Amino acid sequence: MRARTGLNLLALAVGSAGMALSHAAFAGTFTDAIALGWWWEGGSAAVLFAAVFWWHHRRKLGNSDGRLSPAAHPGQVQDETPDAKLRPRPWIPLGIFLGIATLIGVFGWAFYRHERLEYRAIQENQLAAIADFKRQQIEAWLGERRRAAMTWRKGSIFGEVVVQWLAGNGKDRSQERQIEKRLWTIKEFLGYTSVTLLDGEGRVRLRVGAEPALSPQFVELSRMAMASGQVQFSDLYRMVKGAGSEVNMDFIAPLSGLDSERPVAVLAFTTSANEFLFPLIQSWPLPSGSAETVLVRREAGSVLFLNALRHHRDAAFNLSFPLSNQALLAVRAVEGQQGIAAGQDYRGVPVLASITGIAGTPWRLIAKVDVGEIDAPARRDAAIVTGTCLALMLAAGTATALAWRRRRYALESAYQEERAKRAILSMRLDDLARDATDIILLTDGDGNIRDANQRAIDTYGQSHEALCGLSLLDLVPPELRAAAKAEWNKAVDQGQARFETLHRSWQGGDFPVEVNTRRIGYGDVLLMQSVIRDISERRRVEAEIRRLSELGRVLSRCNPCVLSQVGPDGFLGEICRLVVRHGGFAMACAYGGMGRNGESMLLAYFGNHPGALPVDQTHRGTIREVADEVRCARDGGPAWFPDARGLVFRLPWLGETPLTGFGCYAAVPIAGEPGLTGALLLFGGQPEPFSRHVEPFLERLAENTTRGLEFLAQREALRSSRDRLGAMLDNIDGVVWSLDPYSFDLVYTNPSIVRMTGYAAEVMLAQPGLWRDMLLPGDRVRLMDDLNQAQLTGTLGGDYQIMRLDGHRRWINIQGRMVFDANGRPQRLDGIVFDITERRLNEIANEAIQLISAVFLKHRQASEPYRQVAELLAQRLEFPMVCIDLYNPMTERMESLGCSIASDPVPQAVGESITATVSARGTSWYETDLARNGGDAGCEGLRQLGGRSFIAMPLWIGNEPLGGLLLADTAPRPDIGSWQIYLCLIASRLAMEMDRRRRTRGLDRQAQEFRQLLDSLFIYAGILTPEGMVIDINRTALETVGLRLEDVQGRPFEDTPWWSASEASQQRLREALAEAAQGRTVRYDTQIQYRPGDCATIDFGITPIFDAEGQVTYLVPSALDISERRRVQEESRRQGAWLRAGIDRVPIGLMIVDPRSGRLQKANQTLCQFLGYREEALLGMVWLDLLMPLDHETHRQGIASLLRGAVETYTAREHYRHGNGDALPFLVEIRYGRYADADLDALMATLVPSAMEGPPP
């Protein structure tokens, strides 16, 4: 009891000390006395709650030893004491409560302090913003007043009037009234208290407004203004007016005339600070009960308040404090402090203020708010936070107490439940030992049985007393007792052991058991408890699992053996071997070929039964007698005999000797390719105990065997199909090939490749890179690039040249496709190659014929087309030397017209001898290899020049020889004979062009005259074929792009440089050419290009020319450059828009008026704004309708004088009626003449607002 009382006192002391330390820490940083009191009350409440909790705990615990009092559980026995682990510990919840209360207090204080600093920061930012805003307003007001005064600094009309008035010593009353009127206008408009005019000697000459008492610095400021010519202003000063006073400020501006910069007088503008400045200072943009703005300055060792204050109405120039009072913010302000500051105001109240200075003045501006007003929200939040913390502490304490009470009652209930569970567990253990399914024996250290459960009595067939008189070794058969004794000694020594053995039952028979023995002790007595389990069923299940594994192993190895065997015989032999070696059968054999006559053949055999064939020996032969079981297996499902010890088997290959001693037998039907049906016979040495597993195995074995035989049949059919496909590939014209996708080596080709290349397929496969060497060098590089691209695109296609084994060149077309694997990687490249030599030679010949026509059409000179044709044929037909010779009937000799080797005349002479020969013969002549064949005497010159092969063709028209064509090469050309038919076509077209050229030479003069006429035109012109090919273009068009006629002649018109500006212009030209080719004239505007970046706009047209039959024979394009005209039009439009925009922006009103009708024709936007009309409403109005009636007569006279030419300009002041009815004065200047924006002669008037004039009388 004393210990518990001491613990309670210690807890109370710790709680009180903790709260005291917390409050001391808070008091060190907390400056608000009210919040500190609230925190102290909260801590006291927490300590009081802890004390009440301890009192309640001591009241519930009635006894000092922890025994529950009767008051807690009235029905509980008094001597029941809970375990030490279930005894409640009250200091744990108390510590939790104190920790939670401390955390709540710390978080509450941190929240309050954060909010208080946040409020203070917001107020500081607001004060700084307001002070800066007030400063800007005051500086803007001073700047506005100074700028208003500066307007009179330079010469003006008003200044000139004042100078004249002062010069007349103020005797001109008219000028005086005018000056006085102007001063009144300035005073009223700008809100001055008074405006005073002083002469150069400082005497007051005129004054408007209240009688001012000028500032003490006025004389000095006036002298400074006269001397410097700059505006001067005074400081604020107070003037006493009767019973009151007001604060004024003077602005002094020098005044000069128009012709002199020297001031002759000054204007003094007096303004009252009470009208604008002080209300501006006293206003506050936010609602506040204590905020205000103060304006102060230093004066004679003190700080003077310049404006009226919120809490001191008569403070302006009355309230001051000595500079020694440093606690006063105003004193610190005039001493130069700026920014945020804390201190006392003129009332002695703590305030927070922002201090700033007014530029150009000695004034200091202070924007302040009472600290009490700033901290009011923080104090309000402190009260809320304190109340919240106390509520949270109360809730935490209540929750802790409830949890503690619930925990205490839960421990008491758990103790009672634990005692009840122990009693129930003891009874259940007794029942469990009695009714257990395992045998439980209790023995001593020597193995003598002391006790046994009911299961032991039932299993061994002995009574309880009989079993207790036996030893544990008496239950084991004699042959196993030695091993059982060793295991028992191990269990005694090590404390436990587990082993398997056999036990004997007195009811008959032995059975396997698993013995689990462990040592148990009760004091000093050694006892051993043995749990014995009958494992007969487990042994049976393990044997069944082993049998299933054997059968599953056979099935799993059936499929792989299909791939390893070639034919059905080997496959069935492998099945027999698997069944015997891994399936647990003694012998297996397979029959096949069963027909209706009962004949069959032994296909495979494997076995190791006595009397059978040796292991792995196969017997084949015709069987005439087949067992009935085999026929049943053939006609239905498997036949299964799990116990075949009474059956006698007769195998044909054993003769009449019966085969006995088998325990089980099965016949499994098999079927494969047509004609192969039979059965698989399985013999077992012992009866099969697991027949229910063997029957599904036999069905699966039959299914797998049948599928295997079908697979072998399909594989054989596939091999036959592949052989047939190979035969087909050997006989097609194309070459089928397959390449490695990475090294591009040849991995397959059909035998047809020998017809295309001269190399056998075996040679090509033996040298995988030989196909690359057959390609000509240029095509080899191009094909390798295409192969690399095929790895990305997956396709290959193109035409290439190869060199056959016999030296013949062949054109081939290759088409291929990349084959990818499942992961998207290239696996191989397959394709086919066709020989396209005949097609390519035909295409080259046709292309050469078209080019020959184009060259003859393009060139006009005598020998130029022949040389071009020779070079063209040398390039297209790949012959280094090409010569074209013309037969001259006058000399009866060949004359060279053109040769591809123009720089050397020797080949030309050599060619003339050969072409003369073929021209005389009228037949072609070719030699494949001059070094080997030799040729005749005419070839000697060509052989000396290094020529190895040539072909020559005659050029004839009808029966008339024109010349010859020679093509020679420096290398042997075994295939040169194949060019004859194609060169014959080329020679025919060349002869036709030569004959046409000869016939049209008489037209050259007419063509020259037409050429001169075409070149003399200043427009662009030309002649085209109906297909759009250029025949002629005049010089004017060619010079624009710097080309010659030869550069564009024979080309499509849309491909010439004029139309390279854009694809759209080319497309439009194609459409125009197609339309003109149908007989219609086309004309439109478009753009052409002279040179890159230099384009022009043209008026373009195409005119068709018809023959006598009405067919279009020529197209004549023509064009006129209209770029300059377009540019002038665009410039005129742009200048008109620019001029109109400029007129609308000038600050004077402009209008054009018809002199006959007097109606407005044009008006700018400035005039519309002056008169208040929209432009649509103003145009069409009569001029006199806009004038006031009093100006009508004067206006008519002025216009009349302009129209007569008496004056050039009419100037007057006229009053115009505004849209709202007001009369506005304007200075008007009117001229008469012709204007660009007017259709006829017009009157142009400019209107300038007259600010000097008042409203009309």
Check if the beta carbon of residue 1056 is closer than 8 Å to that of residue 1048: yes
Share of the chain above pLDDT 70, in %: 80
pLDDT of residue 1036: 81
Flag whether pLDDT at 219 surpasses 80. Answer: no
CA distance 248 to 268: 12
Neighbour tally for 603: CB within 10 Å: 24
- Residue-range domain boundaries for the chain: 146-272, 277-374, 436-534, 541-683+691-719, 735-835, 839-997, 1017-1121, 1140-1249
Tokens of 742: 């990475």
Lowest mean pLDDT among 204-213, 546-555, 1009-1018, 1037-1046: 1009-1018
pLDDT tens digit string along 128-164?
888 888 888 888 888 888 887 777 666 677 777 888 8
Looking at the predicted structure, is the pLDDT value of residue 35 above 50?
no
- Asked whether the predicted pLDDT for residue 623 surpasses 60, the reply is no
User: Which class in CATH covers the domain with range 735-835?
Assistant: alpha beta
Residues 1072-1107: tens digit of each pLDDT:
999 999 989 998 888 888 777 778 888 889 999 888
Q: Which residues contact 634 (CB under 8 A, 6 or more apart)?
A: 594, 669, 677, 678, 679
Q: Indicate if the alpha-carbon torsion angle 462, 466, 472, 474 is positive or negative.
A: negative
The residue ranges of DSSP E strands in 900-1054, in sequence order, are 925-927, 949-957, 960-969, 1020-1024, 1030-1033
Instruction: State the maximum Cα–Cα separation within the chain, in Å, rounded to a whole number.
Output: 179
Least confident of 2-6, 56-60, 813-817: 2-6
Higher confidence at residue 33 or residue 781?
Answer: 781
Q: Give yes or no for residue 635 having a pLDDT over 60.
A: no
According to the model, what pLDDT value does residue 515 have?
92
Cα–Cα distance, 265 to 206 (Å, whole number): 11
Q: Which range in 471-480, 581-590, 864-873, 930-939 is most confidently predicted, on average pLDDT?
A: 471-480
Instruction: Tell me how far apart the alpha carbons of residues 1164 and 1186 are, in angstroms, rounded to a whole number.
Output: 16
Q: What is the pLDDT of residues 702-711, one digit of tens each?
A: 888 888 888 8
Which pLDDT tens digit goes with each residue over 96-116?
Answer: 778 887 888 787 778 777 777
pLDDT score, position 1228: 92
Q: How far from each other are the two terminal CA atoms of the chain, in whole angstroms?
A: 118
**Average model confidence (pLDDT) across the chain:** 77
Q: What is the pLDDT of residue 359?
A: 86
493/825 Cα distance (integer angstroms): 69
What is the pLDDT at residue 346? 86
At 61, the pLDDT band (50, 70, 90 cuts) reads: very low
Give the CATH H-level superfamily of domain 541-683+691-719: GAF domain (3.30.450.40)
Specify whether the CB–CB gap between 887 and 922 falls below 8 A.
no
Find the range with the poorest average confidence among 3-12, 619-628, 791-800, 1122-1131.
Answer: 619-628
pLDDT at 45: 52
Find out whether 906 and 899 touch, Cβ atoms under 8 Å: no
Residue-wise pLDDT for 678-712, tens only, equals 788 888 877 877 777 788 888 888 888 888 888 88
**pLDDT for 294-328, tens place per residue?**
989 888 888 988 888 888 877 888 888 898 888 88
Name the residue among 174, 184, 203 with its Cα closest to residue 266.
Answer: 203
The structure tokens listed for 826 are 């290239």
User: May I ask the CATH class of domain 436-534?
Assistant: alpha beta
On the question of pLDDT at 771 being above 70, the answer is yes
Most confident of 580-589, 720-729, 1227-1236: 580-589
Token pair in block for residue 195: 């405006």
Which residues lie across from 887 on neighbouring strands?
Answer: 894
pLDDT, average across residues 1044-1048: 85
Q: 626 near 598, Cβ under 8 Å?
A: yes
Per the CB < 8 A criterion, the answer to whether 650 and 656 are in contact is yes
Q: What is the mean pLDDT of residues 958-983?
A: 80
Q: Which value, to the nearest 10 degrees, does the dihedral of the CA atoms of residues 16, 18, 19, 21 take?
A: 120
Average pLDDT over residues 597-625: 52
Of 29-33, 643-647, 970-974, highest mean pLDDT = 970-974
User: Residues 751-780: what's their mean pLDDT?
Assistant: 87
- Span 907-934, pLDDT tens digits: 556 667 777 777 777 777 878 777 776 6
Element at 1008 (helix H, strand E): helix 1004-1016
Higher-confidence position of 63 and 1045: 1045
Give yes or no on whether 839-997 and 1140-1249 have one common fold.
yes
Question: What H or E segment, with its residue span, contains residue 678?
Answer: strand 677-684
Lowest mean pLDDT among 572-576, 595-599, 821-825: 595-599
pLDDT at residue number 107: 78
The CATH number, out of the four listed (3.40.640.10, 3.40.50.300, 3.30.70.3270, 3.30.450.20), of the domain defined by the range 1140-1249: 3.30.450.20
Return the CATH architecture of domain 839-997.
2-Layer Sandwich (3.30)
Confidence of residue 512 (pLDDT cuts 50, 70, 90): very high
Query: 795-803 and 639-641: which strand pairing?
Result: unpaired
When pLDDT is averaged across residues 1012-1039 and rounded to a whole number, the result is 82
Instruction: Answer yes or no: are the C-beta atoms of 548 and 583 closer than 8 Å.
Output: no
pTM of the entire predicted model: 0.34
The pLDDT > 90 percentage for the chain reads 3
Asked if residue 22 has pLDDT above 70, the reply is: no
Domain boundaries 277-374, CATH class: alpha beta
pLDDT of residue 80: 40
Fold of 1017-1121: Beta-Lactamase (3.30.450)
pLDDT tens figures, 1154-1211 = 888 889 888 888 889 888 888 888 888 888 888 988 888 889 888 888 888 888 889 9
H helices then E strands: how many in the chain? Answer: 36, 43
Distance separating alpha carbons of residues 69 and 56, to the nearest angstrom: 14
Name which CATH class applies to 146-272: alpha beta
State the Cα–Cα distance between residues 217 and 240, nearest whole angstrom. Answer: 17
Which residue in this structure is represented by tokens 């088997």?
649
Q: Which DSSP state fits 558?
A: H
State the pLDDT at residue 1011. 67
Q: Which residues does 990 contact at the CB level (< 8 Å), separation at least 6?
A: 852, 869, 884, 955, 965
At 385-435, the pLDDT tens digits run 777 878 887 887 788 778 877 877 887 888 788 878 877 877 776 777 667
pLDDT value at 243 more than 70: no
